[in-house]
Chains A and B, each alone.
Chain A
Amino acid sequence: MNLSNGMGSMSTASSSGAWKSADVVSDQFPAGLRVLVVDDDPTCLMILEKMLRTCLYEVTKCNRAEIALKLLRENKNGFDIVISDVHMPDMDGFKLLECVGLEMDLPVIMMSADDGKSVVMKGVTHGACDYLIKPVRIEALKNIWQHVVRKKKNEWKEVEQSGSVEEGDRQPKPSEDADYSSSANEGTWKNSKRRKDEEEEADERDDSSTLKKPRVVWSVELHQQFVGAVNQLGIDKAVPKKILELMNVPGLTRENVASHLQKYRLYLRRLSGVSQHPSNLNNSFLSPQEASFGAMSSLNGLDLQTLAVTGQLPAQSLATLQAGLGRSTAKSGMPMPVVDQRNLFSFENPKLRFAEGQQHLSSSKPMNLLHGIPTNMEAKQLANLHQSAQSLGGVNMQVNAHGVQNSALLMQMSQPQSRGQILNETSGTHVPRLSSSIGQPILSNGIPSGVLGRNGIADNGRGAGYNPVQQNSSMLNFPLNNSSELPGNNFTLGSTPGMSSLTSKGAFPEDVNCEIKRSGFGASYDIFNELHHHKSNDWDLQNVGLTFDASQHTNTMHGSLDSSVLVHQGFSSSQRSAQSRNPSTVGKAMFSIGEGTHHVNVQNNGQHLNSLIVDNTVRVKAERVPDASSQTSFFHEQFGQEDLMSALLKQQEGIGATENEFDFDGYSLDNIPV
């Protein structure tokens, strides 16, 4: 078959070549829309190409996902939209979807002969802007340009909302927008943009067309900078303009930051599941408690570990956790939340860790969860926790990796069985079922704030996976002086007041993230270390962090004793409840388990936690949430979670990418924001 899907021929062979310049494109839009179509079936590819050409689009076809990614990466702004098949031999279509969304921020349409609800839902949760059922008709392709427009429009709106319009580095061309976009463009943004546009027209023109906006690749470092800036400003106050200033990256525009911020927010919300947005999938799953945690939505195994580490988990819990972790059987009640893979890792891990840690920490990795809160865990317990946490972390990671978006699932951690299910579902791609057992915590923790608490940590009740943490929305407000709300997520361990801080924060992942990041969850999960690397994880972690208010506000939880109480509670409960898997945010929260007097200094400076848990050997390595530099490539490679899982569990299932996005810095657990 003479398909131009070869490496070399791809980009040129099939492009219509008629419209290359931006100007032409914009004038004749949607003609000239640059489409990249990916499908392993040569016949389908040929048909699609012909159909798209008939629609006057500029088509590049590709039969391998890897080649598609390569093309996209090489030619950052070379395409406007991507159409991809779901089932492909070399890479799962959803994975490609996520990568493209994160790295290039292009609209992606999924296609499949499979019209089952779950598959379509998966497309939705992974961020596909549309889903076509094969055989595809040309009518369906005629309107795909709307996704391009919509995306740009949303990005612009974001920019506008963040108040950066005035200074907008880039301005959409109002006139152009008006041409093809809906009348909405006539709205305020357009006007303001128009003003701006006039001012900066000269500079921006060449690229400013909404279609031609150059795409910024959010590398890990860049994302880390971004997240750092966001945390520094506080998620509430993080506006693109200020973020841009803080980041101080030459060539980066406010528009880039704005759109990235928007995605980041969505990500956080998704993690937390309890975001204010009703549409948040996670929310639906999350139990009320969880909701508060919101941010913790992605309880990752890591969280569990964190939780575990905090020593909250009683020995037996650990055992359970461990068992659970390793096995796909959802053990301890920690439901493996099907946290979004992307999200899960980064942010949720911290949360999950805690939650899960308790229960599942059974394993494998000796996590040193630093939980500022001294837990009554004995050393060995802690060790167990570590392990389980690790494994959990790993599991969670995996689970998360799979893109479980379900923070909701996480929430369900409380029910052990639900966990298992969740995991299974989520695991969709990689998550080995193992995660399920472990994952549970993570999953449940999806909700940042709630997660910790919920996962058993805070919650004493078993069932409720998310216990306690929820309790105080200001969880972190527990005795530890932290008024800082501990990123709630992480600490939900004890349901304790302190933890609630996370919850109180509303669990909005963003907040959490900030916090977490800052607090630098000391937790140094070993797991995380391994998995680390993925940025997306960072995000997750961030969420977790957010719950720790501390980060923002110097909530230093002193009062180690208090923290211990908190942690305690968190963990103790978690022990019981398998669910405690909420390691998610907890992870970050580095509870200093172990000695009672740890101050959990929840500080924004992430690293602070380290200081808290000085004694704790348990270190929960908070995934480097803050670093989440992973920036949008959450998925990067399978989401760090997978790696974690594999690393932890060894079982694995093959999680392949060990390079998880988690960039676990290996925070010392000391800084468990409490």
Chain B
Amino acid sequence: MDKNQSRRQVRLMRQSLFDQGFLDEQFIQLEELQDDANPNFVEEIATSYYRDSSRSLQTIELALEKTPRDFNKLDGYMHQFKGSSSSIGAKKVKAECQQFREYCKAGNGEGCMRTFQALKKEHATLKKRLEAYFQMARQAGPIETACRPK
């Protein structure tokens, strides 16, 4: 794929991430922070996020398995997780976090379990998409300034 095509590909991938609701405005904030001094800033952030969030997910999973469920604790964990996810603009993940917290507040263990599964799925999906995107971006070379999705 030539440069132009690569870049176009990258742009499309990026756009679809937004269009499909995987990412939100916050991701653009990160992109805007990227500069010559930190050319891979966004990717670094995403890497950091996935490293920490995987750990968090494990913690939450363990906590979910405990009975009786400590909803307060779970809510606390999820609050942190949500904050983290929102900071990179992980929109769908964030939505699941919110749903999870709702169930926690309601003391709905089943709902929590279900939501947690959905959350893990979204988390994994986004990871794959981002990895592909970053890889393509690196191959394509420097991308133009981030532009806001319509």
Query: Which A residues form the contact surface with B (CB < 8 A)?
Result: 1, 40-44, 46-47, 50-51, 54, 87, 112-114, 134-138
The reply to whether A50 and B38 contact each other, CB–CB distance below 8 Å, is yes
Nearest-neighbour CB distance to chain B for A139, whole angstroms, equals 9
Closest B residue to A112 using CB positions: B83
Partner of B87, one of A54, A114, A135: A135
The reply to whether A138 and B29 contact each other, CB–CB distance below 8 Å, is yes
Q: Which residues of A lie under 8 Å from residue B45 when comparing CB positions?
A: 43, 46-47
Additional A-B contact list (6), CB under 8 Å, known A41-B83, A43-B88: A43-B49, A43-B87, A44-B83, A51-B33, A87-B79, A134-B83
Partner of A50, one of B41, B79, B84: B41
The reply to whether A135 and B89 contact each other, CB–CB distance below 8 Å, is yes
Q: Which residues of A lie under 8 Å from residue B38 when comparing CB positions?
A: 50
The reply to whether B87 and A87 contact each other, CB–CB distance below 8 Å, is no
Name the residue among B38, B48, B82 with the largest chain A CB count within 10 angstroms.
Answer: B48
Closest A residue to B89 using CB positions: A135
Q: Which of B26-60 contact A (CB under 8 A)?
A: 26, 29-30, 32-33, 35, 38, 41, 44-45, 48-49, 51-52
- Whether B107 is near chain A, meaning CB under 8 Å from some CB there, is no
A301 to B54, CA, bound (A): 46
Q: Which residues of A lie under 8 Å from residue B115 when comparing CB positions?
A: none
Q: Which residues of B lie under 8 Å from residue A87 when comparing CB positions?
A: 76, 79-80, 83
Q: Which residues of A lie under 8 Å from residue B89 when comparing CB positions?
A: 135
The reply to whether A1 and B33 contact each other, CB–CB distance below 8 Å, is no
The reply to whether A113 and B52 contact each other, CB–CB distance below 8 Å, is no
Q: Which residues of B lie under 8 Å from residue A42 when comparing CB positions?
A: 48, 52
Nearest-neighbour CB distance to chain A for B79, whole angstroms, equals 6
Nearest-neighbour CB distance to chain A for B86, whole angstroms, equals 5
A44 to B41, CA, bound (A): 13
Q: Are A135 and B33 CB-contacts (below 8 A) given A41-B84, A46-B45?
A: no
The reply to whether B83 and A1 contact each other, CB–CB distance below 8 Å, is no
Q: Which residues of B lie under 8 Å from residue A1 when comparing CB positions?
A: 48, 51-52
A50 to B38, CA, bound (A): 9
A51 to B26, CA, bound (A): 12
Nearest-neighbour CB distance to chain B for A440, whole angstroms, equals 25
A114 to B35, CA, bound (A): 30
A-B contacts, 8 of them at CB < 8 A, read: A1-B48, A47-B87, A50-B38, A50-B41, A87-B80, A87-B83, A112-B83, A113-B79
The reply to whether A50 and B52 contact each other, CB–CB distance below 8 Å, is no
The reply to whether B83 and A54 contact each other, CB–CB distance below 8 Å, is no
Name the residue among B52, B79, B87, B88 with the largest chain A CB count within 10 angstroms.
Answer: B87
A137 to B33, CA, bound (A): 11
Q: Which residues of B lie under 8 Å from residue A136 when comparing CB positions?
A: 87
The reply to whether B29 and A135 contact each other, CB–CB distance below 8 Å, is yes
The reply to whether B29 and A137 contact each other, CB–CB distance below 8 Å, is yes
Nearest-neighbour CB distance to chain B for A653, whole angstroms, equals 15
A42 to B45, CA, bound (A): 9
Nearest-neighbour CB distance to chain B for A84, whole angstroms, equals 13
The reply to whether A43 and B48 contact each other, CB–CB distance below 8 Å, is yes
Partner of A138, one of B33, B51, B76: B33
The reply to whether A113 and B83 contact each other, CB–CB distance below 8 Å, is yes
Partner of A47, one of B33, B52, B80: B33
The reply to whether A54 and B84 contact each other, CB–CB distance below 8 Å, is no
Nearest-neighbour CB distance to chain B for A662, whole angstroms, equals 31
Q: Which residues of A lie under 8 Å from residue B44 when comparing CB positions?
A: 46
The reply to whether B48 and A134 contact each other, CB–CB distance below 8 Å, is no
A500 to B78, CA, bound (A): 51
Q: Which residues of A lie under 8 Å from residue B30 when comparing CB positions?
A: 47
Q: Which residues of A lie under 8 Å from residue B49 when comparing CB positions?
A: 43
Q: Which residues of B lie under 8 Å from residue A54 when comparing CB positions?
A: 33, 35
Nearest-neighbour CB distance to chain A for B146, whole angstroms, equals 13
A479 to B41, CA, bound (A): 75
Name the residue among A47, A114, A136 with the largest chain B CB count within 10 angstroms.
Answer: A47
Q: Which residues of A lie under 8 Å from residue B29 when comparing CB positions?
A: 51, 135, 137-138
Q: Which residues of B lie under 8 Å from residue A47 when comparing CB positions?
A: 30, 33, 45, 87-88
The reply to whether A41 and B88 contact each other, CB–CB distance below 8 Å, is no
Nearest-neighbour CB distance to chain B for A583, whole angstroms, equals 32
Q: Which residues of B lie under 8 Å from residue A137 when comparing CB positions?
A: 26, 29
Q: Which residues of A lie under 8 Å from residue B33 when comparing CB positions?
A: 47, 50-51, 54, 138
Q: Which residues of A lie under 8 Å from residue B86 when comparing CB positions?
A: 113, 134-135
Nearest-neighbour CB distance to chain A for B52, whole angstroms, equals 6
Q: Which residues of A lie under 8 Å from residue B32 when comparing CB positions?
A: 138
Q: Which residues of B lie under 8 Å from residue A51 when comparing CB positions?
A: 29, 33
Name the residue among B48, B83, B84, B88 with the largest chain A CB count within 10 angstroms.
Answer: B83
Partner of A44, one of B35, B51, B76, B87: B87
Nearest-neighbour CB distance to chain B for A56, whole angstroms, equals 13
Nearest-neighbour CB distance to chain B for A140, whole angstroms, equals 10
Q: Which residues of A lie under 8 Å from residue B80 when comparing CB positions?
A: 40-41, 87
Q: Which residues of B lie under 8 Å from residue A135 when comparing CB positions?
A: 26, 29, 83, 86-87, 89
A114 to B76, CA, bound (A): 11
A570 to B15, CA, bound (A): 72
Nearest-neighbour CB distance to chain B for A466, whole angstroms, equals 34
The reply to whether B87 and A134 contact each other, CB–CB distance below 8 Å, is yes
Name the residue among A1, A40, A42, A113 with the largest chain B CB count within 10 angstroms.
Answer: A113
A43 to B48, CA, bound (A): 6
Nearest-neighbour CB distance to chain B for A1, whole angstroms, equals 6
Partner of B52, one of A41, A114, A134: A41
Nearest-neighbour CB distance to chain A for B111, whole angstroms, equals 21
Q: Which residues of A lie under 8 Å from residue B79 when comparing CB positions?
A: 87, 113-114
Q: Are A43 and B41 CB-contacts (below 8 A) given A1-B51, A137-B29?
A: no
